[in-house]
Amino acid sequence: MKFVRNVTSNEVGWREGDVELAIAHETIARWQFGITTVYHFLFVPLTISLAAIVAGLETAWVRTDKEKYFHATKFWGKLFLINIAMGVVTGIVQEFQFGMNWSDYSRFVGDVFGAPLAMEALIAFFFESTFIGLWIFGWDKLPRKLHCACMWMVALGTVLSAYFILAANSWMQHPVGYTIDPATGKAQLTDIAKVLFQDTTVTVVLHTLTAAFLTGAAFMVGIASFHLWKAKRKPESAAAAPAKVAVMRTSLRLGLVLAVVFGLGTALSGDSLAKVMFRQQPMKMAAAEALWDTKAPAPFSVFAVGDVSKGHNSVELEIPGILSFLANSDFSSSVPGINDTAQAEAAKYGGDPKDYIPSIFVTYWGFRLMIGFGMTSFVAGVIGLWTTRKKRFLAPEFRTGDTEVPRLMLTPKRELGPFLTKWSWRIGILTMGFPLIANSFGWIFTEMGRQPWAVFGLMTTASAVSPNVGIGTQIGALATFTSLYAVLAVVEVKLLVKYAKAGPVTDERPPTEDPTLRGPASGDDADKPLAFAY
Amino acid sequence: MELHDVWFVLIAVLWIGYFFLEGFDFGIGILTKPLARNTAERRVLINTIGPVWDGNEVWLLTAGGATFAAFPDWYATLFSGFYIPLLLILVCLIVRGVAFEYRAKRPEPRWQRNWEEAIFWTSLVPAFLWGVAFANIVRGVDIDAQKNYVGGFWDLLNPYALLGGLVTLSLFTFHGAVFAALKTVGDIRDRARAAALKAGLAAAALAAVFLIWTQADNGNGWSLAALVIAVLALVGALLANRAAREGWAFVLSGATIVAAVAMLFLALFPDVMPSTLNPEWSLTVTNAASSPYTLKLMTIVAAVFTPLVLLYQSWTYWVFRKRIGVQHIPGHDPAAALDQG
């Protein structure tokens, strides 16, 4: 394995032969990858979920002709477009930076890793980008059923896109379906089906997609809560805009249902993924738990302070047996600890066991924050779904109409008091971004937990960097992306807030005539303005 | 023809597709300054490519991804070697995409002006840099025995490459002006034809020198044939533009780009990135290629999905076939701007 440099050796093999410089190269490239990827992934889950949600809302409009669905489609569609613009452009960086910063990685894995990336572009990305153009500009050009189908195509494209990218990432986590070419020392693809359908890929896809929908759900609940809570406090202005309340009420309920379904899905798929990881990357999971020594039964750690140099935790609060259950579905089974796993990896790949231990602080807290933020949104969804329930479970005098703000009901006859009502709505608003935080920590955990490996067991991150890119260039690129992304974040968030606060434009009428592909529906008016223009 | 040769052709096709499509997108972006006289006209230009620019840009992503899969060493050497130009292109493409989507999202004139300014510069810079990059690929750069580019950023800005940049810049501007004439109605349509004449003459002069230089240094029989086609197509495009045959002018300006880019790839073959330090160190279709398994797999994927992409992208152009003019731009009433989700 030519490409695995001995991680403890002093000859890291840089041109200058300077270990410090080599580490700096790797560090800067990793910071760039981390910043650009976490940033990109703020937009990805919202894009995936909102595409399908908007497509669903438009389908509801096409099928029922109810205006509230039309307005909801337009409103969430607008927020979706503001979001996807950023997702698309930051995605280009992702494809380029493998070659720019990680050329030795690209040479080593290209034969395997390039295939899902190329498939993503050819199969998924074309789909998404072409049909989004049709959807944005096609309101007066396409028959409404076809227009709605375009959004479903976009939704399909985003899901396929995620699939291929996650298959590529899964191969880094758990390389399968390849052989190392003895002549070149590079990985070669032998079985694409294994790469696309291995259990790592399948579980991580389920986990990522369910989490994406939980993200979209919390986003919807947050914005709907904002509008409904405002309407509740100012009943006279709400009464003046019943259509707005109706859109937000529908959105709230839809968001809550999705939060519960996909919150549960995220937890279940996360459990399956953890079991796969316990098998494939025991170090990552031991690090996630700061479990220094192998234990049977192993406890689940709630709180700990680790000390890498000493190899144990100074403070710890744990629940007995739970970790054994999470790893093996058995409360008393043995779970390998960090020290034993590091010994085993050092014996297998050479070097000092210490070099195989990822940052325990980052993995341990990343894992906890991921679960904490994600599950808070799920629990909030469950509570919200119950308290805002409609007709059947409520006494008649507490029922609210479609254009009224729902009362928050504990039991069929008992409404929450003013304090709890206020805080329930506020929690709905405040937890809006929780899954986004959970997603970020999830990625930071899984990528940091794989270190020191770029491709687990095959190539270290240190040996993956471009050897010919100067440190000044790298720093320049990192500074450029960081500052550009910071500016764009401000622009994007301000725009989202502006449109989210404005709420649906309910005086807009849906088109009276269904356009045909032959030309404008009303025929003769050639100078009619476009339905949408940049 | 072996699989790696097939893939050389496919990569060439993807780049040709990218330059054909995003070529006029860049041209439109550049023309927002010299051609459009006011905000309404700038919006007319931007909206001619509104529904399609995003799909056009995916040709770049596909070219990049396909190079990664089919020629990993080509991808690694090119992207790490041309780091700074690619970084600049990335920054431009990021800002440009956001500019299109966000420009009309706020009514303030300053906000809109800033994004319009961004659209101009972020179209101009990549249109120039792609020419610089491709000229360097054909010319050859300092590649060492480990297949790494060891030259500096300034080495990429040699006269031949700078001329290549001016060729793509003028050619894309011409292509964009021809596209504008084809897609607009009213006063701007006539002025687009006049702009196309100017840009086309500049492109003809620059391209003739650049392509003959390329032919002299790296040419072969096939590249000469492509050169002749490129020149004839460009002359034809200029004549069609003069005769106000806008459809033909667009087909021929597109054919110019196709033939010119094809010529570069023909001059390159069988190398993919020649080394100026030692011909032994050049990256070729054989030593940079993936394994036969991967190439075969990707061939099947490309054979199935490329025609499909062409089909639905062509359909998009058909759906948005109508010419637009200032009368089609929704009102400038600031309150209404907020409603145009």
Domains identified in chain B and CATH numbers: 3-332 (1.20.1630.10)
SS3 A300: strand
CB atoms B309 and A111 under 8 Å: no
Strands (E) located in A130-238? 178-180, 187-189
Q: What is the DSSP string of A432-479?
A: GGHHHHHHHHHHHHHHHHTTTEEETTTEEGGGGS-TTS-HHHHHHHHH
Token pair, residue B31, equals: 């023309």
CB atoms B66 and A103 under 8 Å: no
CB atoms B68 and A98 under 8 Å: yes
Tell me, what's the pLDDT at A398? 80
Of B69, B80, B94, the CB nearest to A117: B69
In contact, A146 and B322? CB cutoff 8 Å: no
In contact, B135 and B163? CB cutoff 8 Å: yes
CB atoms A467 and B313 under 8 Å: no
CB atoms A534 and B294 under 8 Å: no
The predicted-structure confidence for B114-172, as pLDDT tens digits, reads as follows 999 999 999 999 999 999 999 999 999 999 999 999 999 999 999 999 999 999 999 99
CB atoms B69 and A110 under 8 Å: yes
Among residues A480, A398, A490, A500, the alpha carbon closest in space to that of A36 is found at: A480
| Cα atoms in the 13 Å half-sphere on the side-chain side of A141 | 21
CB atoms A480 and B86 under 8 Å: no
SS3 A179: strand
CB atoms B72 and A114 under 8 Å: yes
Tell me, what's the pLDDT at A523? 55
Longest dimension (CA), chain B: 65
Beta bridge partners of B184: B324
Beta bridge partners of A317: A303
Tell me, what's the pLDDT at A508? 87
Of B58, B102, B146, the CB nearest to A495: B102
Test the B interface: residue of A82, A497, A498, A534 with most B CBs within 10 Å = A534
**pLDDT tens track, chain A, 534 positions:** 334 443 333 333 444 445 566 678 899 999 999 999 999 999 999 999 999 999 999 999 999 999 999 999 999 999 999 999 999 999 999 999 999 999 999 999 999 999 999 999 999 999 999 999 999 999 989 999 999 999 999 999 999 999 999 999 999 999 999 999 998 899 999 999 999 999 999 999 999 999 999 999 999 999 999 999 999 888 888 788 888 999 999 999 999 999 999 999 999 999 999 999 999 999 999 998 888 888 888 888 877 776 665 667 777 788 888 888 888 888 888 888 898 999 999 999 988 998 999 988 899 999 999 999 999 999 999 999 999 988 777 878 888 888 888 888 888 888 888 899 999 999 999 999 999 999 999 999 999 999 999 999 999 999 999 999 989 999 999 999 999 999 999 999 999 999 999 999 988 888 878 888 876 555 556 778 888 888
Among residues B280, B259, B137, the alpha carbon closest in space to that of B207 is found at: B259
CA of B310: which chain A residue's CA is closest? A126
Tell me, what's the pLDDT at A310? 65
Contacts of A98 in chain B (CB under 8 A): 68, 75, 79
Test the B interface: residue of A73, A126, A191, A528 with most B CBs within 10 Å = A126
CB atoms B340 and A122 under 8 Å: no
Mean pLDDT lowest for which of A332-341, A449-458, B20-29, B95-104?
A332-341
**How many cross-chain Cβ pairs, A to B, lie less than 8 Å apart?**
263
Tell me, what's the pLDDT at B79? 96
Name residue, tokens 């779904």: A385
What is the distance between the alpha carbons of residues A428 and A426, in angstroms, rounded to a whole number? 5
- H or E element at residue A312: strand A312-319
What is the distance between the alpha carbons of residues B277 and B160, in angstroms, rounded to a whole number? 18
How distant is the Cα of B78 from the closest Cα of chain A, in angstroms? 8
Tell me, what's the pLDDT at A25? 87
CB atoms B294 and A114 under 8 Å: yes
Exposed e or buried b per residue across B111-126, where buried means at least 16 C-beta atoms within 10 angstroms of its C-beta = bbeebbebbbbbbbbb
Tell me, what's the pLDDT at A300? 85
Going from the C-alpha of B93 to that of each of A96, B118, B160, the distances in angstroms are: 12, 10, 25
Tell me, what's the pLDDT at A22? 67
- H or E element at residue B54: helix B53-70
CB atoms B338 and A502 under 8 Å: yes
The ipTM of this complex is 0.91
| Cα atoms in the 13 Å half-sphere on the side-chain side of B121 | 12
Of A85, A106, A533, the CB nearest to B104: A533
CB atoms A130 and B316 under 8 Å: yes
Going from the C-alpha of B185 to that of each of A501, B34, B45, B48, B182, the distances in angstroms are: 38, 18, 11, 11, 8
Mean pLDDT for the stretch of residues B45-62: 94
Beta bridge partners of B275: B141
CA of A89: which chain B residue's CA is closest? B94
What is the distance between the alpha carbons of residues A335 and A323, in angstroms, rounded to a whole number? 8
- H or E element at residue A305: strand A300-307
Interface of B with A in 250-289 (CB under 8 A): none
CB atoms A114 and B70 under 8 Å: yes
Test the A interface: residue of B7, B52, B80, B287 with most A CBs within 10 Å = B80
Judged against a pLDDT cut of 80, whether residue B173 lies above it is answered with yes
Name the pLDDT band for B28 (thresholds 50, 70, 90): very high
Contacts of B77 in chain A (CB under 8 A): 103
Going from the C-alpha of A383 to that of each of A224, A309, A393, the distances in angstroms are: 15, 44, 15
Q: What percent of chain B has pLDDT over 90?
A: 93
Contacts of A75 in chain B (CB under 8 A): 341
CB atoms B68 and A95 under 8 Å: yes
Residues 6+ apart with CB under 8 A from B318: none
How distant is the Cα of B54 from the closest Cα of chain A, in angstroms? 6
Cβ burial of B19 (10 Å; 0-12, 13-18, 19+) is: buried
Tell me, what's the pLDDT at A415? 84
Interface of B with A in 85-104 (CB under 8 A): 86-87, 90-91, 93-98, 100-104
Contacts of A168 in chain B (CB under 8 A): none
What is the distance between the alpha carbons of residues A176 and A187, in angstroms, rounded to a whole number? 10
The predicted-structure confidence for B260-304, as pLDDT tens digits, reads as follows 999 999 999 999 999 999 999 999 999 999 999 999 999 999 999
Tell me, what's the pLDDT at A21? 64
| Cα atoms in the 13 Å half-sphere on the side-chain side of A447 | 16
Contacts of B104 in chain A (CB under 8 A): 533-534
Tell me, what's the pLDDT at B20? 97
The predicted-structure confidence for B223-261, as pLDDT tens digits, reads as follows 999 999 999 999 999 999 999 999 999 999 999 999 999
Interface of B with A in 295-324 (CB under 8 A): 297-298, 301-302, 305-306, 309, 312-313, 316, 319-320, 322, 324
Mean pLDDT for the stretch of residues B42-59: 94
Of B55, B103, B293, the CB nearest to A534: B103
